[in-house]
């Protein structure tokens, strides 16, 4: 099944304890599309400025990504984010955010984009997510990501979006913030009670917890000795997860679980280098090999009674 993603294609400036880059390609929809395209076709919907070159666009080349929805606006600059990570790589400190061309982004989906059976609303103001969702024609799965900013500043609108999606991908601090519950499981139940079918809770270096009304699945993150740059890990995860899921004949509990592992696998590659440098290099065989390592990492036997 095809996925339509609406999000950012952007430039980042990043400093980590291991290096520094002044301009590299980033953005939620970029990481998402590349990761998802390992498994499914993706319609990319985003806007860039005239600073976005053909060379920049080469990241999408040779992949199953439809770029019809990638609008380039003359006389404007692309979304720009600058951030740094310290000793604790789990926390990004934002130095600067320039919305630029993204400030006037009001996506109008084409018929193809509207009819995609899977929709991913990348992190954005909830009103923009809602405006996108209203254009879609009975998708089978709608998923969204969000962030602390919208929980703090657009809580009611976010609640409206939560009520209309199937799947929420969120981190554990955001679950706590939104629900004002210290216990993440209890908080997750509150979000599920809004009508969300599946909650995928990202826990950074500790992995992922997936919850439905009656099922729980916990997966660790792949243990890396060198996390070089965590930027894009969450969107890569979402891409691998939804990309794999969209390619399955049935969305069974086991398909969701495998999707979580494929999402985690792709995210573990992203953080090994700056930007999409590592995602660019790997093949589906690398992804499958690391999936098998995940199995070895987590497998334990039944005890003998």
Interface residues with a second copy (CB under 8 A) are 17, 87-89, 182-186, 189, 203, 205-207, 209, 216-220, 223-227, 254, 257-258, 260-262, 288, 291-292, 295, 297-303, 305
Q: Is 46 exposed, middle or buried (0-12, 13-18, 19+ CB in 10 A)?
A: buried
In contact, 274 and 228? CB cutoff 8 Å:
yes
- Between residues 191 and 219, which has the closer beta carbon with respect to a second copy? 219
- Between residues 152 and 224, which has the closer beta carbon with respect to a second copy? 224
- Nearest distance, CB of residue 45 and a second copy, angstroms: 29
- Between residues 42 and 184, which has the closer beta carbon with respect to a second copy? 184
In contact, 219 and 264? CB cutoff 8 Å:
yes
- Nearest distance, CB of residue 166 and a second copy, angstroms: 21
- Nearest distance, CB of residue 152 and a second copy, angstroms: 17
- Nearest distance, CB of residue 205 and a second copy, angstroms: 8
Kindly state the tokens that stand for 283: 């093949």
Vertex 270: Cα angle to 173 and 80 (nearest 5): 75
Residue that is written with structure tokens 């630029």 in the block: 100
Vertex 66: Cα angle to 62 and 71 (nearest 5): 115
Give 224's contacts (C-beta < 8 A, 6+ positions apart).
268, 271, 272
- Between residues 140 and 295, which has the closer beta carbon with respect to a second copy? 295
In 105-206, DSSP assigns E strands to 118-121, 141-145, 167-171, 198-202
- Nearest distance, CB of residue 258 and a second copy, angstroms: 5
- Between residues 111 and 300, which has the closer beta carbon with respect to a second copy? 300
- Nearest distance, CB of residue 199 and a second copy, angstroms: 12
Residue that is written with structure tokens 């926390």 in the block: 91
- Between residues 103 and 297, which has the closer beta carbon with respect to a second copy? 297
Distance between CA 202 and CA 233 in Å, rounded? 10
For residue 43, give the 3-state DSSP assignment: strand
- Between residues 260 and 267, which has the closer beta carbon with respect to a second copy? 260
279 Rama class: left (phi>0) / alpha (psi -120 to 50) / beta: alpha
- Nearest distance, CB of residue 57 and a second copy, angstroms: 31
Distance between CA 56 and CA 129 in Å, rounded? 26
């Amino acid at each position: 099944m095809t996925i339509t993603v609406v999000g950012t294609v952007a430039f980042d400036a990043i400093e980590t304890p291991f290096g520094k880059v002044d301009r590299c390609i980033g953005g939620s929809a970029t990481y998402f599309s590349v990761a998802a395209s390992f498994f499914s076709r993706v319609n990319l919907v985003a806007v860039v400025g005239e600073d976005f070159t053909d060379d920049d666009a080469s990241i999408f080349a040779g992949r199953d990504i439809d770029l019809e929805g990638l609008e380039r606006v003359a006389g404007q600059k692309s979304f720009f984010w600058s951030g740094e990570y310290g000793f604790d790589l789990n926390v990004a400190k934002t130095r600067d955010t320039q919305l630029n061309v993204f400030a006037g982004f009001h996506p109008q989906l084409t018929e193809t984009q509207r009819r995609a059976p899977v929709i991913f609303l990348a992190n954005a103001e909830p009103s923009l997510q809602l405006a996108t969702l209203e254009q879609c024609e009975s998708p089978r799965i709608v998923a969204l990501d969000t962030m602390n900013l919208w929980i703090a500043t657009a809580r009611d609108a976010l609640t409206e979006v939560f009520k209309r999606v199937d799947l929420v991908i969120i981190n554990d601090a955001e679950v706590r913030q939104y629900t004002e519950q210290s216990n993440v499981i209890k908080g997750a139940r509150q979000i599920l009670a809004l009508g969300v079918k599946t909650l995928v809770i990202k826990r950074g270096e500790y992995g992922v917890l997936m919850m439905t009304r009656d099922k729980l699945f916990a997966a660790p993150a792949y243990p890396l000795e060198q996390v070089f740059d965590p930027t894009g890990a969450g969107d890569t995860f979402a891409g691998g997860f939804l990309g794999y899921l969209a390619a399955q004949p049935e969305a069974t509990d086991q398909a969701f679980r495998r999707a979580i592992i494929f999402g985690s696998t792709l995210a573990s590659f992203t953080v090994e280098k700056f930007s999409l440098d590592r995602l660019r290099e790997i093949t589906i065989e690398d992804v499958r090999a690391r999936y098998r390592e995940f199995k070895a990492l987590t497998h334990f036997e039944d005890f003998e009674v």
